[in-house]
Amino acid sequence: MKKFDIYILKKFLSTFLIAISLILAIAVIFDFSEKIDNFIDNKAPTNLIIQDYYLNFLIYYGVAFSGLITFISVIFFTAKMSDNNEIIALYNAKISPYRLLIPYFVGALIIFTPNLLFQNYILPSMNESRLNFENQYIKNKDVLREKKLHKKIDDESYIFIRNYDVRNKKGFVVDIQKYNDNKIIEKISASIIEWSEDKKLWELRNYQKKSISNERLTSLTKEKVLVDLNIGPEELFQQNRSIKSMNFKSLAKFIKIEKKRGNDFLTFYQIEQNERFSNSFSIFIFTILGFLISNKKTRGGLGFKLTTGLAICFFYIFIMKFAITFTLNSGTPAYIAIWTPNILFLLSSMIVFKKLT
């Protein structure tokens, strides 16, 4: 690399580190001032506040907003270089914008690589402790209970549980229905369903079974029975929050299984899977956009460029949120909706960059 490459790369990374440190420090201060009453009222231990909550808080939001912080950082240091005529000097030395972007992309790659690693492997394992802390000391509620749980067990069977206790692997008021050609052929009811760890089967109490065969109804009643539902307690109850605790391989495997079962929440899982890659990839797109906004002198100077950058950030977040809502309500494949904002911003930056050159 040439001297100006190293110079730009140092400017890029140092500005990014300063920006992310300041933004996260401010975020922690505001968050702590907002939640200090919860910590005191619920008697949260100091070591858990630091280790389980704020350490994971810093990493989670640092990773989540890396793309946008990269964008602001690129605008800031490039605008200062432009105001100091350093960019113009490089152009006068017959260095093209394409060549000038190389150190920018190297810097983006240095940020992108750990970001992708954290998104898919490190952060998921850390999320569980942060979420558990929030539920115990901030929200102060038991999230390990579910009302009106319903799930597809296989191609023909569905299970409905009025109340389910995840911690004790126990449910109350159960209906298991089996269909054939959209007609119900079997219905099992029970007052309690509980997982037997020793036998790896579900125990049903106050068991009632009604079957329809050749238009004849048969009934069977037992006080207690063990049944194999081809589904364990971990698969029966899967909260949306626990998806954030899965690494890339676990999440991909889980989505594959739930797709076969026709899980109603499959779209949520696919959104999470695609966001982990689209958020990291946005670092490259925002690097280009930041360069395009700030590489030339303007009358408004640094303030105008930062204002423009912030406006684009808010617009990007709006488009992303709209895409997620649209996916959930329209049935559009998650990968199309989640990647659309990145594609639109990438095409826009390519068009503007072509005019620059």
The CA R_g of the chain, rounded to the nearest whole Å, is 27
Most confident range (mean pLDDT) of 21-30, 179-188, 332-341 is 21-30
Extract the tokens encoding 101: 């972007």
Q: pTM here?
A: 0.76
145-234, CATH topology level: SH3 type barrels. (2.30.30)
The region that residue 66 occupies, defined by phi over 0 for left and psi between -120 and 50 for alpha, beta otherwise, is alpha
Segment 39-91, tens digit of pLDDT: 888 888 888 898 888 988 898 889 988 988 999 999 999 988 888 888 888 88
Q: How far apart are CA 226 and CA 198, in angstroms?
A: 12
Segment 237-254, tens digit of pLDDT: 665 556 777 888 888 888
Would you kindly state where each structural domain of the chain is located, as residue ranges? 3-140+265-356, 145-234
pLDDT of 302 above 70: yes
Q: With contact defined as beta carbons under 8 Å apart, do 204 and 192 qualify?
A: yes
Q: What is the pLDDT confidence band of residue 8, given thresholds at 50, 70 and 90?
A: very high
Segment 86-128, tens digit of pLDDT: 888 888 888 888 888 999 999 999 999 999 999 888 888 787 7
Q: What's the confidence (pLDDT) of residue 336?
A: 87
